[in-house]
Structure 1
Amino acid sequence: IGVQVAHILYSPNAIADFAVMLMLMCLRKAKYIMKRYEVKDYELGRNQGRELRNMTVGVVGTGRIGRTVIKEISGFGCKILAYDLFENEETKKYAGYVSYDEILEKCDVITFHVPAVKENHHMINLNNVSRLKPGVVIINTARGSLIDNRALIKGIEENIIGAVGMDVIDNEPVYYNFDHKDMRLEDHDAIILESFSNVIITPHTAFYTDQAVHDMVENSVVTCCQYMKKEKIDWRIV
């Protein structure tokens, strides 16, 4: 019936910056330190963190956002490994492509930047969580369905996973985008994850910057104008 559908792209830096921030917060135990600070506990205690330059970082997905993350963390001096079904030359300037198995087994930090499709469902799960490098930091600013919540709980409780930073969470459609402050949350696994001092969860807000919102509005208008003028639509899907 003549309806056309198009992607509306926005700044990849919005997500990439947030992912790097979560990496640093996890490595430096920011949540634990800030909670102790709130009760005026200023002792060093277990505050000792790790430096990104000493880490091997695995980037799963080297599209626009993944490539931006790789460029940003390259400045920290860390070793970078990448996994994607479709390799690109730009990524190879900063990172070496390896198999997904190698990402799981060799990386101190793993950050996910792939879409939510059937083939990517629960890329970290109860079957492979034990293969992760002990102390690994897991970062997810892509889609919640990429990681099984129960696998994260198992990994943390068994001292396999050192820290987690997530802007998205499994079963997110029933958990986020609503005001829950006067309600009882029913997602048991999410409640358990939130209780850990080494888990940082934010409510799907990584994309929300002034530049990204500007891009969404501008590109929406540009796409409509291209359609009205019968021009080629840059980000057309169908």
Structure 2
Amino acid sequence: MTQSSSNKVAFFSSKSFDKQVFAQFEQTKPVIVSHIESRLEQTTVALAAGFDTVCVFVNDDVNTQVVEQLAELGVKHVALRCAGYNNVDITTCHKLGISVSHVPVYSPYSVAEHALSLILTLNRRTHKAYNRVKEGNFELQGLLGFTLHNKTIGVIGTGHIGSAFINIVEGFGCKILAYDPTPNPLIKSKVEYVDLQYLLTHSDIISLHCPLTQDNSHMINVNAIQQMKDGVMIINTSRGGLIDTSALIKGLKTQKIGYVGLDVYEMESELFFRDRSYEVIQDDLFQRLSTFHNVLITGHQGFFTQEALNEIATTTINNICGVTEGQTNHDNFL
């Protein structure tokens, strides 16, 4: 292949693991990838000059102004290497002739298993037990948990990841309530579909597995939390904006909420995927949230398995090549 016939791709928010997993395609596919560590936003969009495609991740900000500048620079394709697309102004992209693709399915069990790991860690306090034993402290006081068997788990969102999560927790003997505007026929026999209010009221554990939209932003708010059981556990491995962080903190302070497990945070774009250990974190809400002993936060690593990375890379490259070949009429394109 010649360089002129290749699709030039600006790979924003690039990490070492991105370079490794995408390198396998650079000799076999008509793409020339340039890795850029900075995230795509208004201050960095000029770096996309001379590229046909920008490849972006969950915290890149492809808002209206960025899209307009991308169009002026001649970019024809925004390729998301993730499932969610709430960070892209798709309407403006279409208006300006920029195609948008994503990775709708990639190893859903990766995220589902991470959600379960948050539940088990919070419940049995294995992170605290680990630290105690390292220090020679074998005291059990403060480590009391509960059995998952016969507990009620409410699952909000029953797409690929939500369904994978349901398949896992079914094996624990849990009762599963589900809420989704579009019920999944593949798991109807395993769950009881209910309205959102019923799920909030009757669940011991609530796990979020839905995309972020304008309609469900802050769906976990003061009113929703007031309806929940005392001591409820809330797990979010989807998108941070689904939860009102201020309301979450209030629920923790009043002990209405007993446990919180987060792999996402609504203002994570300023924090996650970078080493902040030598900095003073300026986000007061995040700092307050992280002080609670019953809150466990991970840095958006639910997707981070070898299987998921391979699937993301394969689908993303195929999407990029699909634009070159005129094959954009399928579910990967928005």
| TM-score above 0.5, yes or no | yes
SS at match of 1:89: coil
Question: Which one has the largest radius of gyration?
Answer: 2
**Partner residue, 1:194:** 290
The answer to whether 1:4 aligns with 2:99 is: yes
* Structure 2, gaps ≥5 residues long: 1-95
Aligned residues: 238
Shift in Å, 1:38: 4.1
The C-alpha deviation readout for 1:27-78, integer Å capped at 9, x for no partner, is: 2123333343344321111211011113100000011110110011111110
**Partner residue, 2:142:** 46
The answer to whether 1:83 aligns with 2:157 is: no
SS at match of 1:22: helix
- The higher relative CO (CA closer than 8 Å, separation ≥ 6) is in 1
Shift in Å, 1:85: 0.7
Amino acid at match of 2:181: L
The C-alpha deviation readout for 1:162-186, integer Å capped at 9, x for no partner, is: 1111100121112223321111111
Shift in Å, 1:232: 5.6
Alpha-carbon distance in 1 for matches of 2:133, 2:257: 24
SS at match of 1:177: coil
Q: Which of 177, 180, 183 is the aligned partner of 2:276? A: 180
* Residues 1-238 of structure 1: pairs in structure 2 closer than 5 A: 3-8=98-103, 9-231=105-327, 233-238=329-334
- Normalising by structure 2, we get a TM-score of 0.67
RMSD of aligned residue pairs (Cα, Å) = 1.8
Q: Call closer, same or farther: CA 1:36–1:196 in 2, change over 3 Å.
A: farther
The C-alpha deviation readout for 1:91-144, integer Å capped at 9, x for no partner, is: 212101011111111000000011111111111112332221011111000001
The C-alpha deviation readout for 1:203-229, integer Å capped at 9, x for no partner, is: 011111101110011112333444444
SS at match of 1:206: coil
* Structure 1, gaps ≥5 residues long: none
- Normalising by structure 1, we get a TM-score of 0.93
Which segment drifts farther, 93-102 or 118-127?
118-127
